[in-house]
Structure 1
Amino acid sequence: MPQAFARDLPFGAQFTPEATRFRFWAPAQQAVALEVDGAEPLPLTRSDDGWFETSRAVPVGARYRFRLDDGLAVPDPASRFQDGDVHGWSVVVDPAAYDWETPGWTGRPWDQAVIYELHVGCFGGFDGVAEALPRLKALGVTAVQLMPIADFPGVRNWGYDGVLPYAPDAAYGTPEQLKRLVDRAHGLGLMIFLDVVYNHFGPDGNYIPAANPGFFREDLQTPWGGAIDFRIPEVRGYFTENTLFWLLEYRFDGLRLDAVHAISEQDWIDEMAAAVRASVEPGRHVHLVLENEHNQPSHLAGEVDAQWNDDFHHVVHVALTGEREGYYEDYAEDVGAKLARALSEGFVYQGEPSPHLDGRRRGSPSGHLPPTAFISFLQNHDQIGNRAFGDRLTTLAAPEAIEAATAALLLIPQIPMLFMGEETASETPFLFFTDHEGELAEAVRKGRRKEFAKFAAFAGAEIPDPNAIKTFERSIPKPHPERAEARTALITRLLALRAAEIGPRIAGAVSEGAEAVGPAAAVARWRLGDGARLTLALNLVNDAVAAPEIAGPILYETAPGAADALRAGTLPGLTTIVLLERA
């Protein structure tokens, strides 16, 4: 039977047919009025702690906003939907209006996750993503992760410029269309995750400082301005409620929290995670993932499932491309040893000095964590899009090298992630794109050019204009005309092997160590949860290397005869071999 889900938020517009409760936190204001389009303004009642509140009978779809002391009209910071973009009116939404077709869906265990990251705009909106789900399921993906969808200025954006964390951007569709996407995923047995941003707001359309400048700190700066003040209970609650909103009202199966190293009060992460575990229905699988460039594993010992492992990406990227600029300089020496450590312990940097950070130490020990605490990838939105020209790995490395690395990625016990287009060997760039106007557009354009001026490879090159519509259009992945079919077949085969032989054994897996056997070659071993032993031999350069003789049943080899060569003590170039000794 269809069922409705709604989160009763302690702020914003909470609809009921009798009267909608409006609640707005603005302790810096002495008077706030509610404006409903077409009606006279209504003064809100102020409490001593700065909450403004009233109830008013309004229909679903009514447009509203709040007017401050100085006359400025602002959208609801907890708006569930916007009419007129980030500077427009907030819209009253009935969250219980959508009847779910999959109310009994309880998710999937974390060890079954195979993640596919995508940008909703590049798929044509929520409905476009929904149309692609059967194809992704056939590929072997079990979880789709959406880049941020919180309302941002304009119609084109990566999503990290969002300013209204509770409102799906209208450029992608309505709240009902987003729920239908989630519903469709669950009907196909797929998990669906959402990328959320709690470390900053975008530069255009953020009205929170006007209503409450104390929301941000003056004594602590981030790359995006004053840090959000997570010392304040109301601020913490605003973001904790957002996690619960997406998980309980929209039924997302998990969240990826962007750049949590920029959140000064790290204890909020654990507090939020505990609130999620206490609020989600018993028996339902919900997953929390962090991005944390400081390589801090402390949160992974509690209620957080995993963390993106940039180290895995960086060392493989260096091995495949030979690049050494920027943060890649940290991985340019002893590549084989760093590859072995990434495979066996997750983080490469666990407290060692970082050359890129002028010798400052980075990270903490991570070898005690299970393999599933790390999400590994060869590409993602950052690692492609933060390049000047959005180069995909497909244009930087030989196909045979990419296929060997892909096999390793998809057959190790760590959680693998693909980025849209990888499955078709796309060479289409993924560029940084926005839809800003006026002075901000020019500032972003100049900032992008300045960012890459120090890189020798881009000297004198014309960096694509982030605000040009063609920059977005070029970023939509297109299958490679010659390699798409073979790459899709390879990934489908690998993920079928993972689902049949590795996935069911991952729970309880532990590393048994790894060692470098060449300049960019390593052998790694794991004891899986049922006692089976998984061995991976990986060589990411052209030249064969000597390797210890390894015996065991072949699960996968890059080319016929590769395992026989390994048994004789040689690991061929550009090769991945996986052996599985069943218990």
Structure 2
Amino acid sequence: MNGRFASALSFGARPLDAERTQFRLWAPAQEAVSVVVEGQPALAMTPEPDGWFSVEAPCGAGARYRYLLADGADVPDPASRFQPDDVFGASQVVDPAAYPWRHDGWTGRPWHEAVVYELHVGACGGFAGVAAMLPGLAELGITAIELMPVNDFPGTRNWGYDGVLPYAPDAAYGTPDELKALIDAAHGLGLMVLLDVVYNHFGPDGNFLGQYAPPFFHADGSTAWGQALDFQQPAVRRFFTENAIYWLMEYRFDGLRFDAAQAIGEPGWLDETAAAVRRAVEPGRHVHLVLEHDENEASHLSHGFDAQWNDDAHHVLHAMLTGEDQGYYSDYADDGARRLARCLREGFAYQGEPSAYRDGRRRGSVSADLGPTAFVLFLQNHDQTGNRAFGDRLTSLARPEALEAAIALQLLAPQIPMLFMGEEDASTTPFLYFTDHRAPLDEAVREGRRREFARFPAFADPAQRQRIPDPNAEATFRASIPQPDPERGPARRQLYRRLLALRQAEIVPRLERARALDADAVGHAAVVARWRMGDGAVLTLATNLGPSAVEIAPLRGRPLLAATAAGRLDPCTTLAFLDGVQ
């Protein structure tokens, strides 16, 4: 390899040399389009078939430009690689091959080695701030960091799911080269870097595609977050498929997490894109594709995707740890141990059964034929924490002893564990929903956030809803920056370090071809589960999240994690045994 990487894109600005750049735009609703490079007169673009326009302009990397539409409006490039002055400013030509990679021979790590750490780049100090965290995360036992979306959004702070320019890292976090430097540094420490991408909608402010490419959107379709994208359009399919390949090839991300895939109107596009990614990636390089899919649709896991976030496992563990039974937790509030056992044995708790929370609609598909590494197991993430009115973490909601038993289960189970930033330090800092929208959208978002909680008894009183933090206030973002708990933090970090070292030594080498044998409830909050590992050994985990001891059959094998006598499972305890090896 030459240490420099670039993706050939159908859209956007492509430097040809130091003084020439080709521009290309899909604008099927326009009769004429020009590109305006700062300091130069407007340059008419040449119409091409199917609504495309292109032109070659005398400029190179660093030039700022906009597209001028026939009606006089000027807009940024929807495939802009960088927006120095936010989504409403000019786009900037970027030479993607300018960054000299130090670890260009990195080929990644196999998926079964993943221990994922989800983080918000802004809350961690931008790309440079995340880079500074890497040595500590590697020492802890993390093998992959997952960045919440970094593509350009309006303002200086946002979760990232309001992005409108999918190819441009947000300038509030740093430059494209600073993002590449972060990934390069991670690879030097043996860490994978995954990126959360949003292909189901655009944010509510700063997207101009409707002005010149209305076919980008369904005329009569919508999602929970905005107008639905029309993936029946070849240009739309290509725009997002190329985006996925761009992040993986040009930025050398080791994988992507596809947000809310159930909201993508053409599910076949997912498999199509997975296949395109597999064709594009160099032989021998490990690249991983992960889904979030609220419908528990398992079919994509046999068509190019490595794993899916296991929301079911999170929900049942959360309900068991906190006793909560409102919202979607109502589907998991009863018979928690049985539901947890099914998650450990088969992946999803709902595999076609009716969901009361969804008015009796059946949810999910069969997942028992999949191996455990097809599921990402987490106790917290940005959604399940941030979508609470006050962003409460489990450190504020659950008994510490029960939470630590759940942590042991999560880190030693054969599913792929994922931590949310701050968990390792027992942080009690909330993770709140935050934005930086302009008026009048700021007020609409503020009131919409409060209306979301009106159906919950605790917020039936409008005065109570006023206590919900204002998403648009900078203080809301500042309050969401994780801080270690001064009392529990050191011991909690040591617990994670010890368990992750145990996972690396005893579980990971045996994970390939591992399959569940059985898992059963042995009490109202206790489960015993067994897996046949890849080398033939049997891993047994016994977990009791409840306040009372339960009697169990003696566990066989060498103890990996044991604190009680055989035949007894104490309250708030996880035991681990490995049988069939010395």
Shorter-chain TM-score category? over 0.9
Measure, in 2, the Cα distance between the counterparts of 1:479 and 1:550: 36
Q: Give the match for residue 456 of structure 1.
A: 457
How much has 1:263 moved relative to structure 2? 0.5
Of the three residues 557, 562, 572, the one matched with 2:570 is 572
Q: Give the match for residue 264 of structure 2.
A: 263
Q: In structure 2, give the amino acid aligned to 1:383.
A: Q
Residue 140 (structure 1) aligned with residue 141 (structure 2): yes
Measure, in 2, the Cα distance between the counterparts of 1:48 and 1:103: 38
Q: Give the match for residue 517 of structure 2.
A: 512
Residue 469 (structure 1) aligned with residue 469 (structure 2): no
Q: Give the match for residue 208 of structure 1.
A: 209
Q: Give the match for residue 162 of structure 1.
A: 163
Q: Give the match for residue 75 of structure 1.
A: 76
Q: In structure 1, give the amino acid aligned to 2:422.
A: G
Q: In structure 1, give the amino acid aligned to 2:550.
A: V
Contact 1:182 1:251 in 2 (8 A): yes
Q: In structure 2, give the amino acid aligned to 1:579.
A: F
Q: Give the match for residue 579 of structure 2.
A: 581
Measure, in 2, the Cα distance between the counterparts of 1:119 and 1:510: 33
Measure, in 2, the Cα distance between the counterparts of 1:407 and 1:483: 16
Residue 500 (structure 1) aligned with residue 476 (structure 2): no
Q: Give the match for residue 5 of structure 1.
A: 5
Measure, in 2, the Cα distance between the counterparts of 1:105 and 1:379: 30
Q: Give the match for residue 239 of structure 1.
A: 240
Q: Helix, strand or coil for the counterpart of 2:87?
A: helix
Task: Write the deviation string for residues 359-411 of structure 1: whole angstroms up to 9, x where unpaired.
Answer: 11000110100000000100000000000000000000111111000000000
Q: Give the match for residue 192 of structure 2.
A: 191
Task: Write the deviation string for residues 474-520 of structure 1: whole angstroms up to 9, x where unpaired.
Answer: 00000001000000000000000000110010000000010100111
Measure, in 2, the Cα distance between the counterparts of 1:112 and 1:520: 29
Measure, in 2, the Cα distance between the counterparts of 1:521 and 1:385: 28
Q: Give the match for residue 297 of structure 1.
A: 298
Contact 1:2 1:102 in 2 (8 A): no
Matches within 5 A, 1:526-541: 526-541=531-546
Q: In structure 2, give the amino acid aligned to 1:539.
A: N
Measure, in 1, the Cα distance between the counterparts of 2:355 and 2:407: 27
Q: In structure 1, give the amino acid aligned to 2:336.
A: V
Contact 1:192 1:253 in 2 (8 A): yes
Q: In structure 2, give the amino acid aligned to 1:442.
A: E
Matches within 5 A, 1:61-100: 61-100=62-101
Measure, in 1, the Cα distance between the counterparts of 2:2 and 2:140: 29
Measure, in 2, the Cα distance between the counterparts of 1:164 and 1:554: 51
Q: Helix, strand or coil for the counterpart of 1:318?
A: helix
How much has 1:19 moved relative to structure 2? 1.7
Q: Helix, strand or coil for the counterpart of 1:179?
A: helix
Percentage of identical aligned residues: 63
Long gaps (5+) in structure 1: none
How much has 1:224 moved relative to structure 2? 2.0
Contact 2:20 2:60 in 1 (8 A): no
Q: Give the match for residue 109 of structure 2.
A: 108
The number of equivalent residue pairs is: 576
How much has 1:5 moved relative to structure 2? 0.5
Measure, in 2, the Cα distance between the counterparts of 1:440 and 1:516: 49
Q: In structure 2, give the amino acid aligned to 1:522.
A: V
Measure, in 1, the Cα distance between the counterparts of 2:480 and 2:116: 20
Contact 1:517 1:547 in 2 (8 A): yes
Measure, in 2, the Cα distance between the counterparts of 1:456 and 1:488: 36
How much has 1:38 moved relative to structure 2? 1.1
How much has 1:85 moved relative to structure 2? 0.6
Measure, in 2, the Cα distance between the counterparts of 1:543 and 1:359: 34
Contact 2:199 2:258 in 1 (8 A): yes
Measure, in 2, the Cα distance between the counterparts of 1:180 and 1:390: 31
Task: Write the deviation string for residues 12-49 of structure 1: whole angstroms up to 9, x where unpaired.
Answer: 00012252110000111100010001110011000131
Measure, in 2, the Cα distance between the counterparts of 1:68 and 1:582: 70
Measure, in 2, the Cα distance between the counterparts of 1:225 and 1:181: 32
Contact 2:204 2:226 in 1 (8 A): no
Of the three residues 556, 559, 574, the one matched with 2:561 is 556
How much has 1:59 moved relative to structure 2? 2.6
Measure, in 1, the Cα distance between the counterparts of 2:412 and 2:427: 22
Q: After TM superposition, where is structure 1 displaced by more than 4 Å over at least 4 residues in a row?
A: none
Q: Helix, strand or coil for the counterpart of 2:36?
A: strand
Q: Give the match for residue 127 of structure 1.
A: 128
Q: Helix, strand or coil for the counterpart of 1:8?
A: coil
Q: In structure 1, give the amino acid aligned to 2:527.
A: A
Q: Which moved more, 1:504-513 or 1:211-220?
A: 211-220
Measure, in 2, the Cα distance between the counterparts of 1:509 and 1:164: 41
Q: Normalized against structure 1, the TM-score is what?
A: 0.98
Q: Give the match for residue 495 of structure 2.
A: 490
Q: In structure 2, give the amino acid aligned to 1:78.
A: A
Of the three residues 528, 532, 536, the one matched with 1:523 is 528
Residue 319 (structure 1) aligned with residue 317 (structure 2): no
Q: Normalized against structure 2, the TM-score is what?
A: 0.98
Contact 2:375 2:416 in 1 (8 A): yes
Q: Give the match for residue 173 of structure 2.
A: 172
Q: Give the match for residue 388 of structure 1.
A: 389
Contact 1:16 1:94 in 2 (8 A): no
Measure, in 1, the Cα distance between the counterparts of 2:580 and 2:430: 42
Q: In structure 1, give the amino acid aligned to 2:216.
A: F
Measure, in 2, the Cα distance between the counterparts of 1:48 and 1:344: 53
Matches within 5 A, 1:257-406: 257-406=258-407
How much has 1:546 moved relative to structure 2? 2.2
How much has 1:2 moved relative to structure 2? 6.1
Contact 2:113 2:143 in 1 (8 A): yes
Measure, in 2, the Cα distance between the counterparts of 1:180 and 1:333: 48
Measure, in 2, the Cα distance between the counterparts of 1:49 and 1:396: 55
Measure, in 1, the Cα distance between the counterparts of 2:15 and 2:182: 23
Q: Helix, strand or coil for the counterpart of 2:417?
A: strand
Measure, in 2, the Cα distance between the counterparts of 1:59 and 1:265: 37
Q: In structure 2, give the amino acid aligned to 1:500.
A: A
Q: Helix, strand or coil for the counterpart of 1:299?
A: helix
